[in-house]
């Protein structure tokens, strides 16, 4: 009897706990719904519009679930939507309440050259409206300095400075490890420059890949210098970047003084001194905290001025890796994106479609599914305009082929028209452990692909023929889209990656311009007034409860997740991110899509890809397994 009573008490406790949890979720959702009313905020305080960018700028922030936020397993840095930052700066130009724009770049991790140039253009417009722009960081890196160069005043902490790294760097090559493990990597590829497979088949870059990558890095680096030099003529950026050692030696190792002497910054001072300077322009804050000033919060400012999502120009964002199946924003899942577009075509009276692409590619099947949905829009009579952001390569170019016209920027990375497939088999690994395989067959393909015993020559040849067939299809799609012969496209394809300026010269893109220009062109083609055309963003909207939890998390997080501020620690953090990406590529060798149109080298030029705590633990566990 005592056992029954004890069990009953446990059941009652579980019931009470579940009821309490339900009530908490219910009232949290109710509060979120009330807090996130679609009505814009009526008032915003006067002061400086503060862009405290503690993370990276992206085309489409990744979706973070409410439970991940509550459990603290969300990403290690915040993502800011490029279009919202640009819209806020455009509003600030004519808003009498905005006395200045302030950039706090201490926690800024980057966002890619195209995004930085677009933010810089918006900052130039603010300055043209006679409003000061002030930037502060302990240590500026390339992306941060590219936008800081557009400021009226650039400040650095005396213990900081400017660290210009330039374009380029190292990739990891796994051939030695693969050989030691006895893994047999079966590669099926087309394209002289399709270097995605090289880390699995070589110990270094091929001469062809090195030549192409050097040309790409050189072009982007020159463009970066031109942008900075135009924005800040007094900065001796070329000499400083070419010989940073000489600059450091001349300043006795004081990188802050070196940056000041070379015109890269205007003043050295800590954050409190910088805040006092801003307060002279924008007004004093209600708080007595040192360095505080009258501030207009970016998130509140964006929310207060966010227009209704009810335009006639559909804007479909394809951001992140292209993968099969379903996924949230920030990942270009074939099923999700195609369903979103087809639903919008069915439910909305759209007059044109703009496809915004910021993706290095991925699964061929998912790319084709997205392309099919875009063709449906075109079949319905909608003009289709593609707008390329930082990267639109491989699968990112595949989904662009239905376009009537393609816009890109000079710094856009595109092309990489090539196809490959990778399949590992472990007969060598098993043999080292004394394990062999044997069996019977009724056809050459019986049991294939046999990852334990190895593939047959017939299977390998069939796979190679299949990849070659998909490559011909890819080339044919591009040829039809660009109105060129397949032979002409094949000559500029072969998996080679191009910068936007060269891509325009060889006919892979039509015009230079950003998303705004693409929307205006779509409106003209739909016979609408570009000045009055409004966008309808075709993407999944976060639920109110998740938005509420995110706002609470942002307030509680504060500066706790700010990245380290000295040069060595900052670079270690960035390199850790790229190293984790490389390890993920090894994981993709086993778990990724079979046939891919992907671009490995493109990943080093966009926004850093943040990982949550669970992903980091899984990667570390994977590394630990390798070293056991």
Cα distance between residue 240 and residue 1, in whole Å: 83
Q: Is the pLDDT of residue 26 over 80?
A: no
pLDDT at 560: 45
pLDDT band at 185 (very low <50, low <70, confident <90, very high): confident
pLDDT at 575: 62
Say which range, 143-147, 333-337, 421-425, 505-509, has the weakest mean pLDDT.
421-425
pLDDT band at 45 (very low <50, low <70, confident <90, very high): confident
If one compares 36 and 307, the residue with the highest pLDDT of the two is 307
Q: Is the pLDDT of residue 176 over 70?
A: yes
15 assigned to active site = no
Ranked by mean pLDDT, the top range of 19-23, 65-69, 410-414 is: 410-414
pLDDT at 369: 97
Cα distance between residue 406 and residue 400, in whole Å: 8
Q: Can you tell me the mean pLDDT for 538-556?
A: 64
If one compares 420 and 557, the residue with the highest pLDDT of the two is 420
Q: Is the pLDDT of residue 495 over 50?
A: yes
Q: Can you tell me the mean pLDDT for 375-403?
A: 97
Q: Is the pLDDT of residue 17 over 90?
A: no
Q: Can you tell me the mean pLDDT for 129-143?
A: 96
Q: Is the pLDDT of residue 100 over 90?
A: yes
pLDDT at 153: 98
Q: Can you tell me the mean pLDDT for 192-213?
A: 85
Catalytic residue among 78, 99, 131, 194: 194
Q: Is the pLDDT of residue 35 over 60?
A: no
Catalytic residue among 394, 400, 425, 584: 394
Cα distance between residue 466 and residue 236, in whole Å: 53
394 assigned to active site = yes
Model-level pTM? 0.86
If one compares 550 and 215, the residue with the highest pLDDT of the two is 215
DSSP 300-363: HHHHHHPPPS--SEEEEEEES-EESS---TTSEEHHHHHHHHHHHHHHS--SEEEEEEEE-EEE
Q: Can you tell me the mean pLDDT for 293-319?
A: 93
Say which range, 188-202, 231-245, 431-445, 473-487, has the weakest mean pLDDT.
188-202
Q: Is the pLDDT of residue 555 over 60?
A: no
Q: Can you tell me the mean pLDDT for 477-501?
A: 95
Cα distance between residue 471 and residue 469, in whole Å: 5
Tally the residues of the chain: 628
Sign of the alpha-carbon dihedral angle for 343, 352, 332, 423: positive
Identify the structural domains of the chain with CATH numbers, from first to last: 47-168+216-305 (3.90.226.10)
If one compares 511 and 614, the residue with the highest pLDDT of the two is 511
- Mean pLDDT score of the chain: 86
pLDDT band at 571 (very low <50, low <70, confident <90, very high): low
């Amino acid at each position: 009897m005592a056992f029954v009573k004890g069990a009953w008490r446990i059941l009652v406790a579980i019931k009470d706990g579940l009821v309490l949890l339900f009530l908490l979720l219910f009232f949290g959702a109710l509060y979120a719904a009330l807090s996130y009313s679609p009505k814009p905020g009526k008032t915003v305080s006067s002061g400086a519009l503060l862009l405290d960018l503690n993370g990276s700028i992206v085309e489409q922030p990744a979706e973070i679930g409410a439970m991940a936020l509550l459990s603290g397993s969300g990403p290690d840095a915040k993502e800011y939507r490029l279009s919202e930052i640009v819209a806020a700066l455009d509003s600030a130009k004519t808003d009498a309440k905005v006395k200045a724009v302030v950039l706090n770049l201490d926690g800024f991790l980057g966002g890619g050259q195209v995004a930085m140039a677009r933010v810089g253009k918006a900052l130039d417009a603010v300055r043209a409206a006679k409003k000061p722009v002030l930037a502060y960081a302990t240590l500026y890196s390339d992306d941060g300095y590219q936008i800081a160069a557009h400021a009226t005043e650039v400040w650095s902490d005396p213990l900081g400075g400017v660290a210009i790294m330039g374009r380029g760097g190292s990739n990891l090559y796994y051939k030695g490890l693969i050989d030691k493990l006895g893994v047999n990597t079966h590669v099926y590829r087309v394209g002289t420059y399709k270097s995605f497979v090289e880390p699995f088949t070589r110990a270094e870059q091929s001469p062809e890949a090195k030549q192409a990558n050097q040309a790409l890095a050189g072009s982007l680096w020159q463009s970066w210098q031109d942008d900075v030099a135009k924005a800040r003529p007094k900065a001796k950026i070329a000499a400083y970047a070419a010989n940073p050692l000489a600059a450091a030696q001349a300043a006795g190792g004081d990188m802050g003084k070196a940056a000041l002497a070379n015109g890269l910054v205007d003043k050295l001072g800590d954050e409190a001194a910088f805040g006092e300077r801003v307060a002279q322009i924008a007004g004093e804050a209600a708080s007595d905290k040192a360095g505080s000033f009258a501030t207009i919060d970016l998130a509140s400012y964006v929310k207060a001025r966010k227009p209704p999502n009810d335009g006639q120009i559909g804007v479909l964002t394809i951001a992140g890796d292209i993968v099969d199946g379903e996924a949230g924003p920030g990942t270009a899942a074939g099923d999700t994106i195609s369903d979103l577009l087809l639903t919008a075509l069915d439910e909305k009276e759209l007059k044109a479609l703009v496809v915004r692409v910021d993706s290095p590619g991925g699964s061929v099947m998912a790319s084709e599914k997205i392309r099919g949905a875009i063709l449906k829009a075109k079949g319905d009579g909608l003009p289709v305009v593609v707008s390329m952001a930082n990267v639109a390569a491989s699968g990112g170019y595949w989904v662009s082929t239905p376009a009537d016209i393609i816009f890109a920027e000079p710094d856009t990375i595109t092309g990489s028209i090539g196809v490959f497939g990778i399949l590992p088999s472990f007969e060598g690994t098993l043999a080292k452990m004394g394990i062999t395989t044997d069996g019977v067959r009724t056809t050459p393909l019986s049991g294939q692909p046999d990852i334990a015993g190895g593939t047959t020559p017939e299977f390998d040849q069939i796979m190679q023929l299949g990849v070659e067939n998909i490559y011909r299809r890819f080339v044919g799609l591009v040829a039809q889209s660009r109105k060129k012969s397949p032979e002409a496209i094949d000559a500029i394809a072969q998996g080679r990656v191009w910068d936007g300026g060269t891509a325009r010269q060889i006919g892979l893109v039509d015009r230079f311009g950003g998303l705004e220009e693409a929307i205006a062109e779509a409106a003209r083609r739909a016979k609408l007034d570009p000045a009055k055309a409004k966008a309808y963003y075709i993407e999944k909207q976060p639920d109110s409860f998740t938005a509420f939890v995110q706002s609470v998390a942002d307030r509680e997080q504060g500066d706790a997740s700010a990245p380290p501020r000295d040069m060595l620690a900052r670079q270690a953090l960035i390199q850790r991110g790229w190293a984790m990406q490389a390890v993920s590529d090894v994981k993709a060798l086993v778990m990724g899509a079979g046939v891919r149109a992907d671009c490995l080298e493109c990943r080093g030029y966009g926004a850093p890809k943040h990982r949550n705590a669970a992903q980091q633990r899984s990667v570390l566990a994977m590394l630990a397994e390798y070293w056991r």
